[in-house]
Amino acid sequence: MVIINFIVRGVDFVYDVMLSKYIGAEGLGLAHMARSVMMIFIVISSAGIPTAISRLVAEYNSRKDYHTTRKILKVSIFLALAFGICFSTIIAIFGDDIAINIYKNKFIIVPIYFLIPAVILLPLTITLRGYYYGLREIAVPNVSQIIEHVAQLIIVFFMLTLAYPMTPVKGALIAICGISIGEIFDLVWLTSMLRKTNDKKAYIKYQLKSAFEILKQIFSISAPIAIADLISVILRFANSIFIPRKLMEIGYTNSEAVSTLGRISGMAMPLIALPFIVTGAIVTNLVPSLSENMSLKRYDMVKKDINFSLKMTLLAAIPLTGVCLMFSEELGYYIYEDTQVGYFIRAMSFGTIFMSLEHTCSGILNGLNMQVSATINRLIGLSLQVGCIYTLIGNPRFGVNGFFIGFFLSGIVIFILDHITINKKVKLKIDYKDILLKPVLASLIMFIIAHYSINIFKELLSRDSTIFFTSLGTGGGAYLVMLFITNALPRNIIRKITS
């Protein structure tokens, strides 16, 4: 999954860069505002459900109760479809009101209406992925993500090329259409593989469960997770409202304020979220694994999985934090051709490590059946972030820095609370020298080699961007070599991540 996530994130990153160059920061800002509306409905309709499905399917599958696992799938699909139809109807009826009365921006009326297909499709694909992960049929949802993102990239690129040059509104509309395009290809693949996967199972009805019992189990697991995700999405929704408004209060024009939001959400965030290549793979596999090991009382395996997850998270997050901090101007210019975004990348890089650890710890708590604690921790941290955004951005002394302060403090608080909660449940023995000192040392070597190799490549290469990224790649190679030299990577790393 790390390898697949690397491919998916790579394609997705190319897609984000392509959008930024074709539709600009203002177009990205408008698209983000519209997507925030969609994400509220998606969270309500599906957040926590894939985790619940994954856990329940893994549990019943380990008992060889394949009849119940299949029934869980049917009930979940019906639930996702019902939610999707309900919320798409709400958008169809109140789309104008959302754009005019909440955002006070008539330019996002049409993009909001174009969210309707995605609101129906996304809960279905999310549900099916949870089912496959519970069965440990990892290849099926992994391939589906590649199909989704590659199809989205190719078709949207074709649309942007035909429509170029374009207004920010038209660019935002095409970006919104890209969501539904990818989900259609994703859903076709996932449904086509169901029969092949399910034919392997012999359905013996030795433990009958009603649809109501299954729904009760799903909601008991998914409800706390959904609340946490809903809070997070409402925060992003609030960001898309408060950031432009507060910036305009201190003298920004509407275009400048929306462009600032676009640089934060569409340019800087994709870069600092790159550790999710690793943490996403960890969390997806960790939840059913921890759930299964806890039910079988294999507590040593639980501790090993948690320590391994934290270690892999830091191995990815520490070097990326340094890269975004030290080379922010170069990344902004060579990737986005935007001289202003470098400051946003540097400011947000301080929260990269804690954001990554927060993501992994969330998966750990969900796998330990402590989703209520995870929700409370996020509520505390995100409330702090909202408070900073609302009180600081409108203050000329802070401006957009108010968002960065809230983003950083929120990540620290949530991680500390998660760490305390996990230790209460599972007494961990963490080797800080191994998980912290080794990647920090390897990162320092990486930066030194990347810095001095620039002078060498200047003699061999002509383009500045090629010189920079080649030097960065050389430093990355040195980082991996140092990890192996210091034994920071386990000797059985390949078997571990593929098991």
pLDDT tens string 8-32 = 777 887 888 888 888 887 888 888 8
345-355 residue pLDDT tens: 998 888 888 88
DSSP element (H, E) containing 444: helix 438-458
Q: What is the pTM of this model?
A: 0.67
pLDDT attached to residue 417: 92
pLDDT attached to residue 496: 52
Q: Which residues lie below 8 Å from residue 80, measured CB to CB, with a gap of 6+? A: 45, 46, 49, 123, 124, 126, 127
- Work out the pLDDT band at 493, boundaries 50, 70, 90: low
CB atoms closer than 10 angstroms to residue 20: 23
Q: Which of the pair, 467 or 297, is modelled with greater confidence? A: 467
Q: Is 98 exposed, middle or buried, given 0-12, 13-18 or 19+ CB atoms closer than 10 A?
A: middle
Give yes or no for a contact between 124 and 84, defined as CB atoms under 8 angstroms apart.
Answer: yes
The pair of three-digit structure tokens given for residue 330, joined into one six-digit string: 């170069």
Give yes or no for a contact between 152 and 74, defined as CB atoms under 8 angstroms apart.
Answer: no
54-100 residue pLDDT tens: 778 877 777 777 777 788 888 888 888 888 888 889 888 888 888 88
Distance CA 333, CA 171 (A): 21
Give yes or no for a contact between 60 and 68, defined as CB atoms under 8 angstroms apart.
Answer: yes
Owner of token pair 């750990």: 364
Q: Establish how many alpha carbons lie within 13 A of residue 372's alpha carbon, considering only the half-sphere containing its beta carbon.
A: 2
225-269 residue pLDDT tens: 677 677 777 776 777 777 888 888 888 887 888 788 778 877 888
Q: Which residues lie below 8 Å from residue 498, measured CB to CB, with a gap of 6+? A: none
Identity at 443, one-letter amino acid code? S
* DSSP state at residue 65: -
Q: Where are the alpha helices (DSSP H) in 250-298?
A: 254-262, 269-272, 276-295
pLDDT attached to residue 288: 65
Structural Rg of the chain based on CA atoms: 23
Q: Is the pLDDT of residue 440 over 80?
A: yes
139-148, 181-190, 219-228: the lowest-pLDDT one: 219-228
- Work out the pLDDT band at 384, boundaries 50, 70, 90: confident
Distance CA 405, CA 408 (A): 5
- Give CA angle at 142 (137, 147), nearest 5°: 135
Average pLDDT, the chain: 81
Q: What is the residue extent of each domain of the chain? A: 2-430
Give yes or no for a contact between 362 and 374, defined as CB atoms under 8 angstroms apart.
Answer: yes
Q: Is the pLDDT of residue 457 over 80?
A: yes
Give yes or no for a contact between 261 and 240, defined as CB atoms under 8 angstroms apart.
Answer: yes
Distance CA 112, CA 89 (A): 12
The pair of three-digit structure tokens given for residue 443, joined into one six-digit string: 């990162």
- Collapsing DSSP to helix, strand or coil, 1 comes out as coil
Q: Is the pLDDT of residue 203 over 60?
A: no
Give yes or no for a contact between 152 and 15, defined as CB atoms under 8 angstroms apart.
Answer: yes
pLDDT attached to residue 444: 92
